[in-house]
Amino acid sequence: MALLNISMKVKENFDKAKKRLVLLDYDGTLVEFVPRPEKAFPTEKVLSLLNRINNKPDTRLVVISGRGHLDLERFIGHLPIEIIAEHGAMIKLNGSWRNLFDNSDSWKKVVLPVLNRFTFASPNSFVEEKQFSLVWHYRNVPDDVGFLQSRELIRILENSITSLGLKLIDGDKVVEIISNKIGKGSAIKNLINENKFDYIISIGDDKTDEEMFQELSTNKKAETIKVGRGPTVAKHSLENVKQVLLFLEHLMENNKN
C-alpha cells in the first residue's frame, strides 16, 4: 500500500513538472548488496530504467554514490548519464570525469595502518582504498564480531581524525574515512542552486543519503525516499531494491509529457 500511495502521488507531480531532477543512489537502491562490492553489476532491468529516465524530455538523471569512480565506470559508465562518485568528490559530466576537490591523501598513511590492524583481527574483512577515502568492509564477518570490531575502530579513529580534517561514515557494514568537506548534501547543493528544477526525486538507503535528504528537507518541490528501515528525514520510504525498481517502472509508464 505504501508503494502504491507514493507512486500515485509522485507520478502525478512528476508528469506535470516541466524541469525534473532524479537523484539515485546505487548500492542498496538500484542494486542489492553483495559480499564483494566489485561484483555489484546492475541488471538489464536497471540499465533499461536508467536509460528511460535519462531519455525522458526535461529530466536530468544523476546517479550519486559513495562508490569509487572506477567501479561506477565499470557498472554504468557506458550509459550516457551523469554520475557523482565518492559521495560528491568526483563527477562524470558529458562523458568525462573530473575532481571537485583537491586530492590530498597524506592522511591515509596515518589511518591505513589502523584499518589493516582491524582487518588482520577480523577474518574476511578488507580495506578498500578510493581516491578520496579509505573504507573498512565487514559485511562478510560474523555479525556479532563485525559489529563489535567496528565500534572499537570508530572509537579509536574518532579521537584522531578530526584534527586531520576528516570525518567517519558509519555505513551499512562499512566504516569509511573521508574529508569533512565532502558529502552528498553539498554535492547536490550547487546543482540545485544553479538550476530551476520544479520537481526533484531523491532516493537512497544509507546514512550518507541522509545528508542529501537533509539538504532537500525544506524544498517543497522535492520528494525524498528512504530505502529500508531506520531513522530518516526523508518524506517517504520504500522497503527494498525491488520496490525502488517497481516505483521507477511506474514513474516511466505512459507519461504524458
pLDDT digit string (tens) for 213-249?
999 999 999 999 999 998 999 999 999 999 999 999 9
Using DSSP bridges, classify how beta strands 174-179 and 166-170 pair: parallel, antiparallel or unpaired.
Answer: antiparallel
How many residues make up the chain in this entry?
A: 257
DSSP H or E stretch at residue 53:
helix 44-55
Q: What is the pLDDT of residue 1?
A: 45
Decide: helix, strand or coil at residue 201. strand
What is the dihedral sign for C-alpha 10, 12, 15, 19?
Answer: negative
Average pLDDT for residues 61-90, to the nearest whole number?
96
Question: Residue 14 has what pLDDT?
Answer: 95
pLDDT of residue 256: 47
Q: Map residue 208 onto helix, strand or coil.
A: helix
- Which among 253, 238, 180 has a CA at the least distance from the CA of 204? 238
Strand order in the sheet with 59-64: 96-99, 90-93, 82-85, 59-64, 20-24, 199-204, 222-227, 236-238
Is 25 an annotated catalytic residue? yes
Ordered domains of the chain (ranges, CATH): 2-100+185-252 (3.40.50.1000), 108-179 (3.30.70)
| Residue linked to cell 500515485 | 8
CA 257 to CA 126: how far, in whole Å?
A: 47
**Which candidate in 25, 71, 205, 209 is catalytic?**
25
The residue type found at 107 is W
Residues 183-216: tens digit of each pLDDT: 999 999 988 988 989 999 999 999 899 999 999 9
Q: How far apart are CA 167 and CA 179, in angstroms?
A: 6
Residue 24 vs residue 34, higher pLDDT:
24
